[in-house]
Amino acid sequence: MTATTAPVLELRDVSKAFGPVQALTDVSLRLLPGQVHCLAGENGAGKSTLIRVLTGALRRDSGTYEIEGEAVTAPTPAAMRAAGVQAVYQELSLLPHLTVAENLFMGRLPSRGGLIDRAQLRRRAREALDEVGLTTTSPDTVVERLPAATRQLVEIAKVLTAESVKVIVFDEPTTALTEEESDRLLAHILRLRERGVAMLYVTHRLEEMFHIGDQVTVLRDGGLSESGPLSGYDENKLITAMVGREVTSLYPEQQRETAGTPMLRVRGLRRTSDGPTVDFDVRPGEILGIGGLLGSGRSELLLSLFGADPIAAGEIEIEGTPVTPSGPRSMMNVGMGLLTEDRKVLGLLPELSIRENVTIASLRSGSRRGLLPPREQAEEADRLLDSLRLRAGSYDQPVSTLSGGNQQKVLLARWLLTKPKILLFDEPTKGIDVGAKGELYAVIGDLAAQGLGILVVSSYLPELLGLADRVLVLRDGRIAGELPGGASEEDVLRLASGGADHAAAEPGASARAGSAGDGQHSRQTDGPDGVSTDA
């Protein structure tokens, strides 16, 4: 491979801020023809922002952007597509009810006088499908009948039918695919490489990077961490480059009693009759973290525990009493609460007021003869909201007028009002600014200190490791391993991506001691300057 080839696409010192949040700082990227360039980084490191800058979905604040030496001044998605920058996204952009051929040429269907030219459409679709090796797929198949991998290939075929294909961005294309399907996709990417296309490949699966990557750029906290040929890296070096940061001390550091009968005891829980079983305990006062990649079954586990998703088998005990998760209502009655990941879809009642959103789960327990509970309950709700420092004009305003962090506090207040014994948090700080994050962490810590059992699912590793006393790592729905709270991010990544199963068996005991000692300086000094972005 010649090092002197001119780059097809070059970004230099690109920065991008969203309000006060600096998403990208002075990031540079060079894509060479016929090379697969991997983009690595944790969630929130700035990968998606960078991709959106590349494809024209976002405008950079500063820095230069050149395609084949020509400066790109005002990128729009259409202009960037025309210039030859194509993207294949993780969430497919195909219209499921239309045929493959129609999808391939949507927006530019061959037509004569407004009538679709079926013969030409079919012929061109055939060519496009053959090009990606889908020789047996009929252009007339309806997309929703195709398996996920084939759809992903159709998506690539669609990208290849564009006028100009110089760069293709793949954003986690294998997330929804089985191993076999992934292999087919990767084989195809290698063929595209031979044709001289430059590719930017984003994935969380390290083994894929080493399989197909030529170069790698690692982002960390919106900045460039490292960049270079992949041959100079091994798994450990790559993970260190991605993580390479001390755990911030936003997290509560308290000594808690975690002894006694398990608050929650789960044995042999399986979601489907042939699925893997899951066993674990949560002791009173303990924060149990659950880590794993997207799609590893973390949210599903919480939903099953809460009775919102059916389970096939398993025993669940709360404080030694067996319970059956027959529905959210029954689990709520035995003292469990769930703060879901997607607040809009699975949490808020947007038209209802803040106060009504808080009391909704406690109406029945406070009610007499079906009437709304007396004023005391609303007052208690107000006190909880006050203590969580909810920033709102009036608790009578619709909850939809609040920012993400404040909405999360409303949902937290909803569950606190039910006097729970166990709280399940699914990505508790997703979409929340850093100020509100710290407040939530402190509340979670306080709740554990009061003797509640807490389960936290988080994709953000510093958060997971900072909050949790113990971390279970899930992979493909089963528990891949357990780590102490002070474990390193490398340990979690290794277990989650199955990088080296044997290495994780002995999680360093020293890690835990380390965290307890170092983390003492803290909350006061590292707080986010008293500036709240979310009022």
Partner 1 sequence: MPKLLWREPIETTTITNAPVTTPEGELEHPDNRLGTPLASEHVVRVAPPSGRRVLTVGDIAGRESGGLVVLLVAVGALTLLSNDFLTQGNLSNLARQVAIFAIIAVGQLLVILTAGIDLSVGSVLGLSGAVTAQLLVGGMPIPVAILAGAALGAVLGIANGLLVTQLKLPPFIATLGMLGIARGVVLVITDAKTIQGLPGSFQTIANGTVLGIPNLLIIAAVIAAIVHFLLTRTVFGRYVYAVGSNPESARLAGVPVRTVTIAVYAISGLLAGFGGVLLTSRLGAGIPTAGTGFELNAIAACVIGGASLFGAKGSALGALTGALIMGVLNNGGNLLAINAFYLQIAIGALIIIAVAFDQANTRAASRSG
Residue span binding partner 1 (CB under 8 A) among the ranges 166-174, 223-231, 393-401, 504-512: 393-401
Looking at beta carbons only, is 124 or 409 nearer to partner 1?
409
Looking at beta carbons only, is 39 or 358 nearer to partner 1?
358
Within positions 397 to 416, which residues make up the interface with partner 1, using CB under 8 A? 397-398, 401, 414
Residue span binding partner 1 (CB under 8 A) among the ranges 279-287, 388-396, 473-481, 500-508: 388-396
* Contact (CB, 8 A) for 290 and 485: no
Q: 116, exposed or middle or buried, with CB in 10 Å at 0-12, 13-18, 19+?
A: middle
Which amino acid makes up residue 10?
E
Of 202, 266, 388, 496, the one binding partner 1 (CB under 8 A) is 388
**The two three-digit tokens of residue 435, written as one number:** 């100020």
* Residue owning tokens 């530019």: 108
Of 284, 438, 453, 462, the one binding partner 1 (CB under 8 A) is 438
391 touching partner 1, by CB under 8 A: yes
Name which of 142, 205, 136, 140 is nearest 170 in CA terms.
Answer: 205
Shortest spacing between CB 436 and partner 1, in angstroms: 9
Looking at beta carbons only, is 238 or 412 nearer to partner 1?
412
Distance separating alpha carbons of residues 466 and 454, to the nearest angstrom: 14
Give exposure, 42-56, as e/b (b: 16+ Cβ within 10 Å). bebbbbbbbbbbbbb
72 DSSP assignment: P
Within positions 327 to 386, which residues make up the interface with partner 1, using CB under 8 A? 327-329, 332-333, 338, 340, 345-352, 356, 359-361, 363-364, 367, 370-373, 382, 386
Give exposure, 367-385, as e/b (b: 16+ Cβ within 10 Å). eeeeeebeeebbebbbebb
Task: Determine the distance from the C-alpha atom of residue 237 to the mean position of all C-alpha atoms in its chain, rounded to a whole number.
Answer: 23
Shortest spacing between CB 268 and partner 1, in angstroms: 25
Shortest spacing between CB 143 and partner 1, in angstroms: 24
Within positions 463 to 502, which residues make up the interface with partner 1, using CB under 8 A? none
Strand 9-18 versus strand 62-67 pairing type: antiparallel
Looking at beta carbons only, is 40 or 457 nearer to partner 1?
457
Shortest spacing between CB 301 and partner 1, in angstroms: 15
Shortest spacing between CB 419 and partner 1, in angstroms: 13
312 DSSP assignment: S
Looking at beta carbons only, is 147 or 374 nearer to partner 1?
374
Handedness of CA 17, 23, 27, 29 (dihedral sign): negative
Shortest spacing between CB 55 and partner 1, in angstroms: 29
269 touching partner 1, by CB under 8 A: no
Looking at beta carbons only, is 267 or 430 nearer to partner 1?
430
Q: 487, exposed or middle or buried, with CB in 10 Å at 0-12, 13-18, 19+?
A: buried
Phi-psi region of 68 (alpha: psi -120 to 50; beta: other; left: phi over 0): left
304 touching partner 1, by CB under 8 A: no
Which amino acid makes up residue 84?
G
x-or-dash string of contact with partner 1, 192-231, rule CB under 8 A? ----------------------------------------
* Residue owning tokens 């988080």: 458
394 touching partner 1, by CB under 8 A: yes
Of 12, 389, 419, 521, the one binding partner 1 (CB under 8 A) is 389
Distance separating alpha carbons of residues 527 and 512, to the nearest angstrom: 24
Count interface residues toward partner 1 (CB under 8 A): 61
Give bridge partners of residue 321 from the DSSP assignment: 318
> In which element (H, E) is residue 207 found?
helix 206-212
Within positions 306 to 325, which residues make up the interface with partner 1, using CB under 8 A? 306, 308
Looking at beta carbons only, is 328 or 514 nearer to partner 1?
328
x-or-dash string of contact with partner 1, 505-524, rule CB under 8 A? ------------------xx
Distance separating alpha carbons of residues 177 and 161, to the nearest angstrom: 23
Looking at beta carbons only, is 261 or 397 nearer to partner 1?
397
452 touching partner 1, by CB under 8 A: no
C-alpha distances out from residue 275 to 85, 301, 313, 394, 478, Å: 41, 12, 10, 47, 9
Helix 489-497 with 235-243: angle, nearest 10 deg: 130
Judged by the rule CB under 8 A, the positions of this chain that interact with partner 1 are 250, 306, 308, 327-329, 332-333, 338, 340, 345-352, 356, 359-361, 363-364, 367, 370-373, 382, 386-398, 401, 414, 435, 438-439, 441-443, 446, 523-524, 527-532, 535
